[in-house]
A and B are shown apart, each in its own frame.
Chain A
Amino acid sequence: MTGFAPLEIHITPGEHPTREWFGLTVNIDTVISTVVAGAIVLLLGFLVRRMLTRETADHVPTKLQIIWESVVGEVNKQVEDNLGKVHPFVAPLAISLFFFILIANWLELVPSEFGPGRLHALPAPTSDTNLTYAMAIFAVVSVWVFGIRTKGFKGYFSHFVQPYPVLLPLNVLEELVKPVTLALRLFGNIFAGGIMLALIAAIPWYAGMPIANVLWKLFDMAIGGLQAFIFALLTVLYFAMAGAGHDDHEEHETPPVTDPTDQQREAHEKQPVPAA
């Protein structure tokens, strides 16, 4: 307990307990919380998988099913709108990114600081650039591979000199900046949220720390969801840009297909969500 007034505010942003694995310096707390977040995602995933395979007569989905299915349906729709079809690699990637980042962000809300050095056992792994860089590079390298495989080596790289060859440096720069912006946007938001929590924890309780804490955590939840959504959406959009081509005509050739089946599906999906 901090007593009535904090004598000092002990915040060490960006410092991690480390271990040496195979000659690499590893932030052990990030690794642990990554494993925890991944385990939660996979647990929820396998739970929903078990619910799905269970045969029910009335086809009424459970709440967990509705959460997964609304996310999967929404991502599928986004991917279909932007890529023209539900791509078997892009859609699962966006789903994985969304759920993993969401759970990872929300780990920040778990009060898990203890010990004499105020060791944070479960910091949000997304407040470590190592994870955000890893995910962003995974996503952007996938985008590059997707672009080259869709349009061919020449077709993909020719768009770097479009519409004018003089823009080549800018185009290359844009491509290289993509993973950095993806990674640092997510990192910055979640890292700042963690610092805010640490600062709020230093407020004396009689000055309203619990209220501020609850309010900020609610707000941080919203930020966490928003950042997860943005990361996944931008990844899909990068795939769309890589696949769509250098001139705008190709994009209009394949408008988002909305046949009655899709509308029916959407109407059906939207209906049960408020009941959750």
Chain B
Amino acid sequence: MIPLEKTNNFLVPNGTFWVELIAFAIMFYILAKYIVPPINRAMTARQDAIRKQFTDLDQAKADAQSAEEEFRAQIADARHEAARIREEAREQGAAIIAEMREQAQAEASRIVEHAHSQLEADRQQAVTSLRAEVGSLATDLAGRIVGEALEDQARQSRVVDRFLADLEAQESAQEPVK
């Protein structure tokens, strides 16, 4: 058993002081050299990592914002494009309708024209045949009534022409009135 020393003022240091001083110095040296620096390094490293994460976050936020803006711009572009195409289609439709209407109009007027000329030709034909038949018929009738045979061809045609001329003159005189 370790003997207890009875006569010792505990406020006065003894040889233990030097042992304790050396022990503390050794512990301090080891802590200061091997333990504290890595802790400091780790703390700064973690701070750096956190700071980096913050900047990364900001960067990502900015990226997302710009992407959203781009997206909005593209949407707006697409809307514009769609509106433009619709407008174009409407214009094209109107143009087609106008063209078709014009064509139809032209066709109609062509048909009308054709009908007019047909009519004119028919009339001309009718006039020609009339002139041929009405002459002989009229002279026949006139000959019978007058008793004078109008065999003479020359005279006959002269009479007919005069009659027709009279008729035409009458017609043209009446025309403005109509």
Which residues in A have some Cβ–Cβ distance to B below 8 Å?
Answer: 12-19, 21-28, 30-31, 34-35, 38, 41-42, 45-46, 48-49, 52-53, 59, 61, 65, 68-69, 72-73, 76, 86, 89, 91-93, 95-96, 99-100, 115-117, 119, 125, 128-131, 133-135, 137-138, 184, 191, 261, 264-265, 268
User: Closest chain B residue to A262 by CB distance?
Assistant: B47
**A130–B14 alpha-carbon span in the complex (Å):** 7
List residues of chain A with CB within 8 A of the CB of B31. Answer: 41-42, 45, 92, 95-96, 99
Cβ–Cβ contact B27 & A41, under 8 A: yes
**A181–B71 alpha-carbon span in the complex (Å):** 72
**A28–B14 alpha-carbon span in the complex (Å):** 12
- Which chain B residues numbered 1 to 39 have a C-beta less than 8 Å away from chain A? 1-6, 8-21, 23-28, 30-32, 34-36, 38-39
Chain A interface secondary structure, helix, strand, loop or mixed? helix
| A-B contacts at CB below 8 angstroms, number | 169
Looking at the complex, which one of A18, A65, A95 makes contact with B36 (CB distance below 8 Å)? A95
Chain B interface secondary structure, helix, strand, loop or mixed? helix
Given contacts A15-B5, A21-B19, A34-B19, 7 further A-B contacts (CB under 8 A): A18-B3, A18-B14, A49-B38, A92-B32, A134-B18, A264-B47, A264-B51
Cβ–Cβ contact B39 & A134, under 8 A: no
In the complex, whether B43 has a CB less than 8 A from a CB of chain A is yes
Known contacts A16-B8, A42-B31; is A76 also within 8 Å of B20 by CB? no
Looking at the complex, which one of B11, B16, B23, B25 makes contact with A27 (CB distance below 8 Å)? B16
In the complex, whether B49 has a CB less than 8 A from a CB of chain A is yes
Which residues in B have some Cβ–Cβ distance to A below 8 Å?
Answer: 1-6, 8-21, 23-28, 30-32, 34-36, 38-43, 45-47, 49-51
User: Closest chain A residue to B49 by CB distance?
Assistant: A59
Cβ–Cβ contact A69 & B14, under 8 A: no
**A55–B30 alpha-carbon span in the complex (Å):** 23
Cβ–Cβ contact B28 & A130, under 8 A: no
List residues of chain B with CB within 8 A of the CB of A86. Answer: 40
Cβ–Cβ contact B32 & A93, under 8 A: yes
Cβ–Cβ contact A137 & B40, under 8 A: no
Known contacts A24-B14, A38-B27; is A30 also within 8 Å of B42 by CB? no
Looking at the complex, which one of B5, B18, B28 makes contact with A92 (CB distance below 8 Å)? B28
User: Closest chain B residue to A35 by CB distance?
Assistant: B23
Cβ–Cβ contact A30 & B3, under 8 A: no
Which 8 pairs, one residue from A and one from B, show the smallest C-beta to C-beta distance?
A24-B15, A14-B10, A17-B2, A92-B32, A130-B16, A45-B35, A134-B20, A134-B21
List 7 A-B residue pairs with CB atoms under 8 Å apart, sorted by A's residue number: A17-B5, A31-B19, A31-B20, A42-B27, A96-B24, A96-B27, A134-B21
* Closest CB in chain A relative to B23 CB, distance in Å: 5
Cβ–Cβ contact A24 & B18, under 8 A: yes
List residues of chain A with CB within 8 A of the CB of B30. Answer: 42, 45
Known contacts A17-B3, A30-B16; is A69 also within 8 Å of B39 by CB? yes
List residues of chain B with CB within 8 A of the CB of A265. Answer: 43, 47
* Closest CB in chain A relative to B51 CB, distance in Å: 7
Cβ–Cβ contact A26 & B16, under 8 A: yes
Cβ–Cβ contact A92 & B46, under 8 A: no
Cβ–Cβ contact B34 & A46, under 8 A: yes
